[in-house]
Amino acid sequence: MFTAASFRVGDRVTICSGQSIPQSTATVERYTEGGRCMVLSDGSEWRADGRRQWGFRGGYYKGPVVEPFEPGDDEFIARRRAIGALRKFGDGLTMESPLSTEALQRILEVVDREKAAVKKG
């Protein structure tokens, strides 16, 4: 029986990309396969040490890993997702976009206010 699990059931963990960048958070729900497979609240399965996904079939692994949750991970993930959503939104804007001119001006006013606040601060 494998007992060298790095995480306990109920632990909050951060799933990080291969470059150690926080991508999402989850909770350890249970262990299967005699304690060798860790199942997270998002449904993903990992080796008990969190170093690679359970179903991975290859010799070299440069994928995401599971690390202990650290303060600030939630904020980093939220900021990263907000930036991604704004980039996607801006990239999709054209003259044919369904948003009204007034809606676009309101969005621009909020962006301008936030930029001004950063300059003052």
Predicted confidence at residue 4, as pLDDT, reads 44
pLDDT along the chain (121 residues), means of 10: 66 90 96 94 93 76 89 96 94 92 94 92 73
Predicted confidence at residue 20, as pLDDT, reads 84
Predicted confidence at residue 112, as pLDDT, reads 94
Predicted confidence at residue 2, as pLDDT, reads 35
pTM: 0.77
Number of other residues whose CB lies within 10 A of the CB of residue 76: 14
Ramachandran class of 14: left when φ > 0, alpha when ψ lies in -120 to 50, beta otherwise: beta
Predicted confidence at residue 63, as pLDDT, reads 83
Task: Give rounded-to-5 percent helix, strand, coil for the chain.
Answer: 35, 25, 40
30 neighbors 8 (Cβ within 8 angstroms)? no
